[in-house]
Amino acid sequence: MENAAQFFLLLMLSPLVTGVIRTLKARLQTRRGPGILQLYRDLQKLFSKGMVIPETASWIFTVTPWIVFFSTILAGLMIPMVAAEAPLGLFGGVLAVIYLLGLGRFFLALSGMDTGSSFGGLGSSREMTISALAEPAMMLAIFTVAIGAGSTGLTEIAGTAIGQSWRFLAPSQMFAFAALSLVLIAETGRIPVDNPDTHLELTMIHEAMILEYSGPYLALLEWAASIKQLVLMTLLINCFWPFGLQPTWFGFGAVEGICWLLGKLLLLSCAIVLLETVNAKMRLFRVPELLAVAFTLGSLALISTFLF
Amino acid sequence: MLMMPVLDLQFGERIVTLMAALVLVLQIAMVSQRWIVLHIRIFAVQSLLLAMIAATIAWYNHAPHIYIAAVLTLVVKVILVPILFERLVTRMEIHEEIEPIVNVPLSVLIAGGLTLVGYVVAESFYRPDAPGVGHNALAVAISLFLIGFFTMINRRKALTQVLALLSLENGLFLAAISLTYGMPLIVELGILFDVLVAAMVLGILVYRIRESFESMDVSRLRRLRG
């Protein structure tokens, strides 16, 4: 039951979040923007189209969209969204979530190189560079949170967080939050690191990898990207601002939990939009600097849990 | 009723710790910053946080003279010095980026390491029974001090070195107010005017260096040798 509910929520909510971010950003730049529901329409259109598969592509090319999509969904089912109790608790909890997302990224990078187009290879190499730098920072921040809960299981982490809503004011939590926010920007390909709106830039990262995809496969990848964004955003808000998070998925509490979730997602989206609008995209060689800051913040977070 | 002030004090301590942590984050942000105008603004925000820390300590410990220090910090470091420096930047038409000697990712990591040193040093001063805001603020202050030194060594341009010196002084101020609830007012006044005068003199010096060498790179001063 809760499995199905969260599955549905992930599938249906993620295009909405992307749409809201795009619309808000357009409004902030005094454009009209494409409307909140545009990604749903795009997905529907792409699913009803035929597709072109390059002659040079191997089986990796066809299997990648499925792996990316389902590993992201699986990761999404393991995080607490509405209730602290996650529908699925695999080994390692949050570690499994991170490495499921890593699995998706691995196959995406492979498929970028698979077709032999130079753009795909560039995109893959950039993506791997950035993720290799982002991952340690993310792990450090996550471990800080996990130490507070005494477990890497996300259900336990969210459960402890419920008891102490103001915990994020502790310095170590704040460092971890800052580190994880920077990682979120890098991982979801948002503006100081990558531009999510275009595949016409030479410096694109995510878009370069999926440049050869079309039709339903492209739809799967786009959908997976927006689900990944939702998963990471939810992870961030429910670890650090557990307001309104319900202990279990029962009855009326679930509705309240969903309302809180939507509110917090909206707030975080506003923050992302602001950040994207006031910043210009970084040069690729400057990205390691941003991630070094994230790494330092992450290690400070871990250190200060022991020292403060 | 008797419990209230104690509770208040603890809450105040938490707020101060939080703001001190933010000050540390800003210090690390300064190390990683390449644009000088942003660097100046981060410094202003950091000083604003310091003024707020001072005001919080004054409020929770009923020490009115710290308010004066807070207001002075606000006026001098949040308003006067940044305006002075930004005017200097526009007048000298500095467009190029800050180029640190050690590259930025490594400097940030070094700053993190220095913070660890700061904590280790502060730990030895810590006494659980003694009054005072505690070793967190002191640890942050020592870290600010060390990172400030490192930034001064790490920069080539005179103006950015001055900014590093000022953030180092912020560390001193934090140590003073968090350990002793403020030095005597006259000392605070002295330090603040010192900073203001230093900033102005150094500003003029930077301008002169720029005039005579057409660069703010202090390593060119070696040419003065006979």
Task: Answer whether A289 sits within 8 Å of B22, measured CB to CB.
Answer: no
Q: Higher model confidence: residue B224 or residue A69?
A: A69
Closest of A79, A241, A257 to residue A155, by C-alpha: A79
Q: How confident is the model at residue B182 (pLDDT cuts 50, 70, 90)?
A: low
In percent, the amount of chain B with pLDDT more than 90 equals: 12
- Distance in angstroms (rounded) separating the CA atoms of residues B94 and B39: 13
Closest-CA residue of B relative to A294 is B108
DSSP summary character for residue B132: S
For testing contact with chain A, the best of B104, B143, B150 (most A CBs within 10 A)? B104
Task: Answer whether A307 sits within 8 Å of B123, measured CB to CB.
Answer: yes
For testing contact with chain A, the best of B14, B24, B25 (most A CBs within 10 A)? B25
CB A25 within 8 A of CB A195: no
If you average pLDDT over residues B56-85, what whole number do you get?
85
Min Cα distance B124 → chain A (Å) is 12
ipTM computed for the complex = 0.74
Sign of the CA dihedral with B96 first, then B98, B99, and B104 last: negative
The per-residue b/e assignment along B97-117, b for 16 or more CB within 10 angstroms, e otherwise, is ebebeeebbebbbbbbebbbe
If you average pLDDT over residues B68-79, what whole number do you get?
86
Backbone angles phi, psi at A191, to 5 degrees: -60, -45
Return the pLDDT at B114. 92
Contacts of A303 in chain B (CB under 8 A): 115-116, 119
- Distance in angstroms (rounded) separating the CA atoms of residues B126 and B138: 9
Closest of B127, B172, B178, B123 to residue B146, by C-alpha: B172
Return the pLDDT at A13. 92
- Distance in angstroms (rounded) separating the CA atoms of residues A283 and A286: 5
Return the pLDDT at B215. 72
Q: How confident is the model at residue B2 (pLDDT cuts 50, 70, 90)?
A: very low
Return the pLDDT at A234. 92
Of A171, A295, A296, the CB nearest to B21: A171
Contacts of A291 in chain B (CB under 8 A): 105
Q: Which amino acid is at A81?
A: M
Of A175, A291, A299, the CB nearest to B21: A175
Min Cα distance B216 → chain A (Å) is 24
**A257's tokens:** 């939990």
Return the pLDDT at A72. 94
β-partners of residue A83 are A246
pLDDT tens, residue by residue, B110-137: 998 998 898 888 877 776 665 555 667 8
Of B17, B32, B116, the CB nearest to A289: B32
CB A58 within 8 A of CB A114: yes
Task: Answer whether A292 sits within 8 Å of B29, measured CB to CB.
Answer: no
Burial class of residue A78, CB neighbours in 10 A (0-12, 13-18, 19+): buried
The neighbour count for residue B138, using CB atoms within 10 Å, is 23
CB B99 within 8 A of CB B160: no
Backbone angles phi, psi at A233, to 5 degrees: -65, -40
User: How many residue contacts between A and B have a Cβ separation below 8 Å?
Assistant: 58
Task: Answer whether A292 sits within 8 Å of B108, measured CB to CB.
Answer: yes
Q: How confident is the model at residue B4 (pLDDT cuts 50, 70, 90)?
A: very low
Closest of A13, A75, A31, A12 to residue A197, by C-alpha: A31
The neighbour count for residue B128, using CB atoms within 10 Å, is 6
Mean pLDDT score across all residues of chain B: 80
Residue A281, C-beta contacts closer than 8 angstroms, at least 6 positions apart = A191, A192, A193, A194, A195, A203
Q: Which amino acid is at B95?
A: H
Task: Answer whether B112 sits within 8 Å of A300, measured CB to CB.
Answer: yes
- Distance in angstroms (rounded) separating the CA atoms of residues A156 and A179: 21
What is the extent of the structural domain holding A59?
A: 2-307
If you average pLDDT over residues A105-121, what whole number do you get?
90
If you average pLDDT over residues B199-215, what whole number do you get?
76
If you average pLDDT over residues A153-179, what whole number do you get?
79
Task: Answer whether B112 sits within 8 Å of A296, measured CB to CB.
Answer: yes
Residue B30 scores a pLDDT above 80: yes
Number of domains in chain A: 1
Mean pLDDT score across all residues of chain A: 87
- Distance in angstroms (rounded) separating the CA atoms of residues A201 and A194: 10
